[in-house]
Structure 1
Amino acid sequence: MAPHPEQPSVTVHHDVYPGIDLDSRLKDAAKGKVVYITGASRGIGEATVLAYAKAGASGLFITARSADALTSVAESASKLAPSALVEPYAVDVTDEKAVGESVKKCLEKFGRIDIVIANAGYLEKWVKIGDIDPDEWWKSMTVSIRGTFNVIHHTIKHLVATKGYAILLSSVGAQNRRPGASGYQTAKHALNRFAEFIDVEYGSEGVKVFAIHPGGILTVLAANEPSLIPLLNDKVEIASNTMVRLTSGSEDWLSGRYVSCNWDLDELAKRRQEIEEGDLLKNRLDVGGLANPL
């Protein structure tokens, strides 16, 4: 029996399409929301700050390790949307106490948190398990898993209070098994499962969560692995705009699942019954015909 495919049959986009257009479909989709974003100093994180500012967010608490870069992003967001309050705050997501302090600062500034974007990550150079520097391997795991845990640990009760949203930056790599990529791809696979746990534990209290593949985007981080560069041809806005849509309320039914920002969300919605009845787009062991008795 052939293995089941790991991509749904929907249109794949590489740039903004009508369903994620901030000037039409998603105009004011984040109006009045307070958004806490990690890894916000460049790349996907920076684009996400700008997207939520354009979509009407009233408060943006943006974090990364580089204070100077965050200041520049905050200035760009303020120019784009003068009514949005933007608060930059330097923090390393792997420092649990520092993350906790950042969340306190966000609450002091804005009073609540409606949306959390756990974007900070790390990509090691891809080397086989026996040859890679163990510290490099574990850094991928630590930033992606521990860093995301720290952020959710300190924000989840506030998301319960607002019946808010959490987005975890996963990757299509979570589904792949590429030689040399065991650190990065294992970490992203674990993030998908972590999103499922957030849904299991807090979904009944109103929290919505998605683990997303942002698309194949050429960022400084992605360029750390040269073999990936020819594959990275997507516009960064496909990630940022999709996140705005996922937290707009129209895709709440996808909570607890893995979603690729390349997938056409309007087409995916037509498969809603199939997805819900089969509890699809989640990590699980495929036993195929072994499910049938001998």
Structure 2
Amino acid sequence: MKVKSAATQVHREQPLVLGYKVDIARQESVKAMYDSLVEVFNARLDSLINNTAQMEPYKPFLESDPDTYWRTWEVNIQGLFNMARTFFPMLSEQSLQVVYGEQGLWASCVNPGAIKIKITAGALEAVRNVLPDRLAIAGDTIAWLASDRKEWLGGRYISCPWDMEELVAKKDEIAKEDALKLRLVV
């Protein structure tokens, strides 16, 4: 496993890595994982990174499968809701990494970039062949975001392919202009 190997190389303690098969679209599945993690980690959670998605295969609208479309909605929307709703209490007790009002939590909307990965297999080949970003960029950015508190990024949109040093250099400008926030204007 790469994480354990990296820890060994830098003479750090190997992290405890657990694997769970979870259907995040189903609350009872998420709750079962939560119950196990509470037991293993004594109800302490530093970060919650919702890193899952589903993308239905490309088809013209009238040829699309309503059940497949709805399953995509369940995973991408309801699944994130289930995870956040289940794990926020564990996070809020620690006042760590995600914004939940006065409780000291912060969250950001992170776009991993245009990456050719398993879920994009259903996209048109012409689209897949021009996806420029690398998976490692997303992982590096998420690790950077979770490494220490960055309240100034709370509630903001972040795209992994951006230059993070440049983003930090614009910290004051972003705060002053209240930039990088997604809004619905009607």
Q: TM-score range by the shorter chain?
A: 0.7 to 0.9
Please tell me whether residue 216 in structure 1 is matched to residue 148 in structure 2: no
Cα separation, 2, equivalents of 1:273 and 1:230: 37
Q: Which runs of 5+ in 2 are unaligned?
A: 9-13
Cα separation, 2, equivalents of 1:121 and 1:232: 17
With over 3 angstroms needed to count, the CA separation of the structure-2 counterparts of 1:91 and 1:285, relative to structure 1, is: closer
- Residue in structure 2 matched with residue 103 of structure 1 by the alignment: 34
Please tell me whether residue 142 in structure 1 is matched to residue 74 in structure 2: yes
Please tell me whether residue 81 in structure 1 is matched to residue 7 in structure 2: yes
- Residue in structure 1 matched with residue 11 of structure 2 by the alignment: none
Match of 2:135 among 236, 241, 261: 236
Q: Could you tell me whether the CA contact under 8 Å between 1:246 and 1:252 is conserved in 2?
A: no
Look up the SS of the partner of 1:159 in the other structure: helix
Q: RMSD between aligned alpha carbons?
A: 2.0
Q: Could you tell me whether the CA contact under 8 Å between 1:245 and 1:251 is conserved in 2?
A: no
The superposition leaves residues 63-97 of structure 1 with CA deviations (integer Å, 9 ceiling, x where unpaired) of xxxxxxxxxxxx45434436211111211111101
- Residue in structure 1 matched with residue 148 of structure 2 by the alignment: 249
Percentage of identical aligned residues: 32
Structure 1 residue 134, shift from structure 2 partner: 1.4
Cα separation, 1, equivalents of 2:2 and 2:177: 43
With over 3 angstroms needed to count, the CA separation of the structure-2 counterparts of 1:257 and 1:128, relative to structure 1, is: farther
Q: Could you tell me whether the CA contact under 8 Å between 1:222 and 1:228 is conserved in 2?
A: no
Match of 2:84 among 125, 145, 152: 152
The superposition leaves residues 138-174 of structure 1 with CA deviations (integer Å, 9 ceiling, x where unpaired) of 22211011011111111001111122224xxxxxxxx
Look up the SS of the partner of 1:81 in the other structure: helix
Look up the SS of the partner of 1:117 in the other structure: coil
Cα separation, 1, equivalents of 2:184 and 2:21: 40
Please tell me whether residue 113 in structure 1 is matched to residue 55 in structure 2: no
Please tell me whether residue 122 in structure 1 is matched to residue 54 in structure 2: yes
How many residues are matched? 179
Structure showing greater relative contact order (alpha-carbon pairs closer than 8 Å, 6 or more residues apart): 1
Q: Could you tell me whether the CA contact under 8 Å between 1:257 and 1:282 is conserved in 2?
A: yes
More strand per residue: 1
Q: Which runs of 5+ in 1 are unaligned?
A: 1-74, 167-198, 288-294
Cα separation, 2, equivalents of 1:277 and 1:129: 43
Cα separation, 1, equivalents of 2:167 and 2:78: 31
- Could you tell me which amino acid in structure 1 is paired with residue 56 of structure 2? E
